Amino acid sequence: MATKKIAATKSKAKAKTGPSLPKRSSKPWGQDGKALDGVRILDFTHVQSGPTCTQLLAWFGADVIKVERPGTGDITRGQLQDVPHVDSLYFTMLNHNKRSITLDSKSTEGKKVLERLVKSCDVLVENFAPGALDRMGLTWDQIHLWNPRMIVASVKGFGPGPYEDCKVYENVAQCAGGSASTTGFRDGPPLVTGAQIGDSGTGLHLALGIVCALFQRNRTGRGQRVLAAMQDGVLNLCRVKLRDQQRLAHGPLREYSQFGENIPFGDATPRAGNDSGGGQPGWILKCKGWETDPNAYIYFITQAPVWEKICDLIGKPEWKTDPDYAKPGARLPRLKHIFDTIEAWTMTMTKFEVMTACNAVDIPVGPILSMKELAEEQSLRETGTIVEVDHPTRGKYLSVGNPIKLSDSITEVTRSPLLGEHTDEILGDVLGFTDEEIAEIKASGAIGETQKLAAE
């Protein structure tokens, strides 16, 4: 009996402490490898949604092997070229830190290489049209016959349902996911946003799914499928508009300027211009120089806790006690007049001067920053949010860096690969083909011609 009690006590203690953890590293912070060291990704992605995902994983240390079609590669290598015969910025800015192998997966030798790639990798990522992976012979059953631990991650336009076989691109996803219907001014057409919430947004969602699947695999020992549909990803980013759709059933959306102007609401969440989506009235206001500078504007929020500070700052101290302005509810029908009054004040200063004055008293504002201003912002260079990359044929260019910062996993942004640049080392070092086997693969035409560095 005593032995059973001791065993039960030990079992409970083990349950409380959880699984055993590795010994804590004694190396300095940031010098014990990267978060995804040891993870190998088989990258069958192209254009933007998939490459966004795999680039993020590569930034965190995963070995990403990008498989490309011999002779052409990822279609974005040649799209929107600003320098003739050089990989476009569209490609280079989405494929940092990766290795490239060219492969004709339909050929006999190519299929042999493909099988070994599947057996050698942890995750396969693809954003082909629906059914394309199966037509390549890479069905779920076949992949897991070769590698039961393989995680298969896919970007698709729509999830299961009547539209799952439809192709989807960025703006299509924004429209199908609810973004366009709620973007723009109420007297104008639906608008898509400049942020790539369909492509890059879905790529970010997929990366999270992959990391979760890798974490679960540590417990189960098996891979699984990960799906990120573009419609789903856009809708997730538009959740506050779905919130407002349900609120409409209980009355008008009082924080929308439409309410203050006595314009009736319909039965769907309306376009709201520059109204704030968080319940605090906000608007974009002109600043000094707006006549010639299209970005001389600032976003100004009339947040209730700092209303009295706003009144003092814009020279309207009487509004603090005036019953028509003192309370948030009383201000709603007068928002246009309030913002017109604030704008008369912001137009006397530059957007940065307005920001300085407002931040001094904790009033939240946001200057409208152009891409030129962001590219020249030194603080973004210092944090690695914007990086300068040197490319062997393009030269130096700017790109976004890793937007997610880990204190013990330092990100380094390295250039994108030339087409097929790493074919030989992947065949030999990663897949273990002998020199004779590599020669046979080359002779078969399965890898086509590969690009070499100019220095070679």
Residue 4 clears pLDDT 60, i.e. is over it: no
The domain boundary, picked from 367, 383, 418, lies at 367
Residues 186 and 41 in one domain: yes
Q: At what angle do helices 435-444 and 108-120 cross, to 10 degrees?
A: 130
In a domain, 354, yes or no: yes
| 238-254 pLDDT per residue, tens | 999 999 999 999 999 98
* Residue 449, both tokens: 């011609």
Residues 407 and 361 in one domain: no
Residues 183 and 56 in one domain: yes
So what's the pLDDT on residue 456?
40
| Predicted model pTM | 0.91
Residue 7 clears pLDDT 90, i.e. is over it: no
Domain that holds residue 178: 33-237+399-444
- Find all residues with CB under 8 Å of 48, minimum gap 6, and list them: 76, 94, 170, 196, 199, 200, 203
CB-based burial of residue 334 (10 Å sphere; 0-12 exposed, 13-18 middle, 19+ buried)? middle
In a domain, 38, yes or no: yes
Q: Evaluate whether 151 touches 122 at the Cβ level (below 8 Å).
A: yes
Residues 427 and 360 in one domain: no
Q: 277: domain CATH number?
A: 3.30.1540.10
Residues 142 and 278 in one domain: no
So what's the pLDDT on residue 87?
96
| 15-74 pLDDT per residue, tens | 555 567 889 999 999 999 999 999 999 999 999 999 999 999 999 999 999 999 999 999
In a domain, 111, yes or no: yes
In a domain, 452, yes or no: no
Residues 124 and 65 in one domain: yes
Mean pLDDT, residues 183-209 = 96
Q: Evaluate whether 384 touches 401 at the Cβ level (below 8 Å).
A: yes
Residues 184 and 50 in one domain: yes
Residues 105 and 183 in one domain: yes
In a domain, 176, yes or no: yes
In a domain, 301, yes or no: yes
- Find all residues with CB under 8 Å of 345, minimum gap 6, and list them: 313, 314, 315
Catalytic residue list: 199
pLDDT mean across residues, the chain: 93
Provide the β-strand partners of residue 232. none
In a domain, 200, yes or no: yes
So what's the pLDDT on residue 276?
81
Residues 313 and 225 in one domain: no
Domain count, the chain: 2
Residues 210 and 348 in one domain: no
So what's the pLDDT on residue 280?
82
So what's the pLDDT on residue 261?
87
Residues 68 and 140 in one domain: yes
Residue 208 clears pLDDT 70, i.e. is over it: yes
- Find all residues with CB under 8 Å of 89, minimum gap 6, and list them: 80, 82, 394, 397, 399
Distance CA 369, CA 347 (A): 17
Q: 428: domain CATH number?
A: 3.40.50.10540
The domain boundary, picked from 343, 367, 391, lies at 367
The domain boundary, picked from 312, 345, 367, lies at 367
| 261-309 pLDDT per residue, tens | 889 999 999 999 999 877 788 999 999 999 999 999 999 999 899 999 9
In a domain, 195, yes or no: yes
Residue 2 clears pLDDT 90, i.e. is over it: no
Residues 144 and 50 in one domain: yes
Residue 167 clears pLDDT 60, i.e. is over it: yes
